[in-house]
Amino acid sequence: MKYSILSFIFALTFSNLSFGQYYEDITNYEEEEKTLAQLGQRILNAALFQDRDSACKAFKTHLSSLLAKDDSIKLPFDRVSNLMKVRSADSTIRILTWSLLDANNSYHYFGFVQRLKADGDYLLYELKDRSDEIVDPEKLVLSSENWWGSMYYDVALINNGLKDMYTILGWDGNNNMSHKKVIDIFYFDRDDSLRFGSPIIRERREVYYRKIFEFSAEVSMQMAFQRHLNRIIFESLSPSNPSLVGVYEYYGPAFIFDAYNWGGRYWDYEADIDVEEGLEKKDKAFEVKHRDTIQSKNLFKPYGK
């Protein structure tokens, strides 16, 4: 009887301690999330770059401290409005990205990748934006230390018969003249290194490691996965005048959609596709939902259209 009472007291004490720790962890998270939300608003809205930059540094410090914990991949960060959160379908990968507008109206990017391995190990990768230093980015394998920065808004798992890889879609505010959309690939090497870019995007006899689309800051470009057809659809871009070919600040939607179709090994280019293919009639009001807040002003009248 004595041992039963002692066991009960021990179990009750342990339960109270566990609940107390859980409550403390939740309280700490809520306080940290509130701090992150406030810093995020300063990053977005502070008038002076030095204030935005200071907030960004503090934001990264607070966020990295939270993400260092093994179970942090479950934290929602719902109130942190400047933080883009993308999670793989199996919830083993999450990518967190945010941006900073500098004094010259150019964007810089920051991010973390959280990975939960099959053996239960948790890995955290910091993404370091080196876009300004990278030459010919569509033809290179990059890394977490040498990253073509953007804010990611969707991800899809693929396998080319050799390894699992992830295709990811991103938005880059670039500057006040042009914006960009990005299709990138990432995967993990045997030593758990994070790599970006793979030669699996084929278009007009060319092979690309990633695709970068640049267009006028006055318009938006739609780009999204159509998972039921295993493809990426995107608005074709064209200059507003034939004399402006290659001057991407004057590119905009050409009022047609192209696609990359996944064939098991490559994303293969297809021109002028039907975005409503395979959809039920009730679903034919096609809408791409993403965080590109640039509103199209229909300024473009591509030649030949």
Average pLDDT over residues 1-29: 51
Please report the pLDDT score of residue 7 as a whole number: 52
- Tens-digit pLDDT profile for residues 268-303: 999 999 988 876 543 433 333 333 333 333 333 333
The confidence band for 52, taking pLDDT boundaries of 50, 70 and 90, is very high
- Integer Cα distance of 295 and 220 in angstroms: 6
In order, the DSSP letters of 20-37 are HHHHHHHHHHHHHHHHHH
Poorest-pLDDT segment among 21-30, 106-115, 163-172, 285-294: 285-294
Please report the pLDDT score of residue 24 as a whole number: 52
- Tens-digit pLDDT profile for residues 96-142: 999 999 999 999 999 999 999 999 999 999 999 999 999 999 999 99
Please report the pLDDT score of residue 276 as a whole number: 87
Average pLDDT over residues 239-257: 96
Residue 10 pLDDT > 60: no
Mean pLDDT of the residues in the chain: 88
Please report the pLDDT score of residue 277 as a whole number: 83
Q: Do residues 235 and 253 lie in contact, with contact meaning Cβ atoms separated by under 8 Å?
A: yes
Poorest-pLDDT segment among 19-33, 140-154, 223-237: 19-33
Kindly report each contact of residues 122-126 with a partner whose C-beta sits within 8 Å and lies 24 or more positions away, as own/partner: 122/70, 122/73, 123/192, 124/67, 124/68, 125/194, 126/64
- Tens-digit pLDDT profile for residues 224-244: 999 999 999 999 999 999 999
- Integer Cα distance of 204 and 206 in angstroms: 5
Please report the pLDDT score of residue 237 as a whole number: 98
Cβ contacts of 224 within 8 Å, gap of 6 or more: 154, 169, 232, 233, 234, 288, 289, 290
Please report the pLDDT score of residue 298 as a whole number: 32
Nearest to 258 by CA among 283, 226, 228: 226
Please report the pLDDT score of residue 239 as a whole number: 97
> What is the reported pTM?
0.84
Token output for 116: 């939960």
Pick the residue with more confidence: 3 or 214? Answer: 214
Beta strands 267-273 and 201-203: pairing type?
parallel
Please report the pLDDT score of residue 85 as a whole number: 98
- Integer Cα distance of 129 and 146 in angstroms: 6
Please report the pLDDT score of residue 126 as a whole number: 99
Average pLDDT over residues 86-94: 96
3-state secondary structure of 259: strand
Please report the pLDDT score of residue 264 as a whole number: 97
Burial 148-181, CB ≥16 within 10 A → b, else e: bbbbbbbbbebebeeeebbbbbbbbbbbeebbbb
